Structure 1
Amino acid sequence: MAVTVQSVIDRVQATLQDTSGIRWSSTNELVLWVNDSQREIALIKPDATATNTTVTLATGTKQTIPAAGNRLLRVIRNMSAASGGTGKRTIRLVGREILDAQTQDWHDPAVTGDAAHGPVVKHYMYDEADPRNYYVYPGVSGNAYIEIVYSANPATVTLSDNLAVPDIYANAVMNYVLFMAYMKEAEVADNAQRAANHYQLFVTSVAGKDQIDALRTPNVTLSVNRAVA
């Protein structure tokens, strides 16, 4: 991330026709709204703050993403170590009801057979209603490390920092700050409409990126190749 918070604030003040800081003499509130916008972006488009990392699994089947995260995006593979390790067996997403039907006691650390707990994970399960937690199969016994991708909570930034979201979202951040600024003075003629316009630009910019990503993802080529094959 190379776009500075200051550069976004400068553009906001230019749009507000307040480059001298007469109306917005203090930028503290504007920076507060920059941070609000980053959290809104992560909420609307979780992969905007996607973080790829290796985690050490807890004993048992239930796992939780790092404290800085807000939701799991994907589990990739087993790893040989907590840091600097090499990739091992891949991990597949499965429906929990499948395992529940086949091995009802797979959560039990004393279970035997294919579900016996150990250091290697074969599958994981995820429930959107519980976005920070997930389950692994077999359950974990001993040291186990896996690579995951999760949506992180954006770091709180100050005026001297860079944005904590990718640079591509700089315009969205600016529009959100303008939305909040105009909303604060909604009693002034036309400001309520200006606020609504900037909020719509913000939502369109963030949510609309999903459509672009869907069209430009390498998985589109993968799907075409499968169809041809």
Structure 2
Amino acid sequence: MPHKAQPLNKKSTSRSSNAFSGVSCFFTCPRHRPRRRGTRWTDPELIRWVNDGLHAMMEMKPQAFSAVVAAPLVAGAEQTLAAAHYRLLDVPGSAVTRVAKNHLDAEDMGWEGGEESATLYHYCYDENTPRIFYVYPPVIAGTELRITAAVYPDEVTTDESEIPLPETYLPTIVDYLLFRAYGKHSKAQGNERRSTEAFTRFAGGMGVKATNLGQTSPNTTEVGS
């Protein structure tokens, strides 16, 4: 798992301070674990499912993992996000505005090879290449740009690990755990229904991917053509 970039504003997101918080019921609640700890669902299984759930949430609602970071740029117009970043969400502020790339191409097909500058005016983004964006004019290497990006969460490794999510999303990750746990024993009476219901709640909390793509892209609002 790549190292998480240091956010410029570390207080922008409230993270869970208690590992497994609502998920701790799997270790103590008689309804979920009637026998001794680890006999129905093992700790490694639960930890693996938490990480699977985090990855699913990242794809479905990347803004749950957003952070404002300083992105060092390479020379030229085309830029690639750092390995720790899943996708670009926004460029905050009003100094660097978003434009449609086809607009710049129509004005000057050779703009990407133009003179490099340390002052940026615009950026372009295409959902088909979520880890790539363009800056205008082409930039001098080493210039930094503040961006809002979805950052890969730290891996949960033990039942004492902090879940890297805002507390408002903890019920959602619990629903994912219930979906996987009941699904493992789907032949037991009622478990298939419980698994389906838990996944429905999880999906409802996240929304469908096709819808969220438009909600989390920098291209949500129209730009001039």
Judge same fold: TM > 0.5, yes or no.
yes
Partner-residue secondary structure (3-state), 2:92: strand
* Equivalent position of 2:132 in the other structure: 133
Distance 2:204 2:34 in 1: 26
Is the counterpart of residue 100 in structure 1 residue 105 in structure 2?
yes
Match for 1:28 among 15, 20, 44? 44
* Alpha-carbon shift at residue 120 of structure 1 (Å): 1.1
Distance 2:185 2:193 in 1: 11
Partner-residue secondary structure (3-state), 1:137: strand
Cα 1:19/1:151, change in 2 over 3 Å: farther
* Alpha-carbon shift at residue 60 of structure 1 (Å): 0.6
* Equivalent position of 2:144 in the other structure: 145
Q: Which has the higher helix share?
A: 1
Distance 1:143 1:23 in 2: 54
8 Å CA contact 2:78, 2:132 repeated in 1: yes
Q: What pairs with 1:63-102 in structure 2 (closer than 5 Å)?
A: 63-76=79-92, 90-102=95-107
* Equivalent position of 2:11 in the other structure: none
* Equivalent position of 1:5 in the other structure: 19
* Alpha-carbon shift at residue 102 of structure 1 (Å): 0.3
Deviations 1:177-226 (A, max 9, x none): 11001111112222111100000111112339x99xx9xxxxxxxxxxxx
Paired amino acid for 2:165: V
Segments of 4+ in structure 1 off by > 6 A?
none
Distance 1:157 1:118 in 2: 42
Greater Cα shift, 144-153 or 16-25: 16-25
Paired amino acid for 2:95: T
Distance 1:48 1:124 in 2: 23
Cα 1:176/1:144, change in 2 over 3 Å: same
Paired amino acid for 2:26: V
Is the counterpart of residue 53 in structure 1 residue 69 in structure 2?
yes
8 Å CA contact 1:169, 1:206 repeated in 2: no
* Alpha-carbon shift at residue 3 of structure 1 (Å): 4.1
Deviations 1:58-115 (A, max 9, x none): 00111111211111001235xxxxxxxxxxx71000000100000110111xx3xxxx
8 Å CA contact 1:71, 1:151 repeated in 2: yes
Structure with higher Rg: it is 1
Distance 2:76 2:121 in 1: 14
Partner-residue secondary structure (3-state), 1:147: strand
8 Å CA contact 1:65, 1:132 repeated in 2: yes
* Alpha-carbon shift at residue 128 of structure 1 (Å): 0.3
* Equivalent position of 1:186 in the other structure: 186
8 Å CA contact 2:70, 2:147 repeated in 1: yes
Distance 2:25 2:76 in 1: 51
Let me know the Cα RMSD of the aligned residues.
Answer: 2.2
Structure 2, unaligned runs of 5 or more: 1-14, 216-225
Identity of aligned residues (%): 27
Paired amino acid for 1:201: R
Distance 1:140 1:67 in 2: 20
Partner-residue secondary structure (3-state), 1:196: helix
* Alpha-carbon shift at residue 25 of structure 1 (Å): 6.0
Distance 1:7 1:135 in 2: 41
Equivalenced residue count is: 194
Deviations 1:26-65 (A, max 9, x none): 3110011111111111111110000101111100111111
TM-score, length-normalised on structure 1? 0.78
TM-score, length-normalised on structure 2? 0.79
Cα 1:126/1:188, change in 2 over 3 Å: same
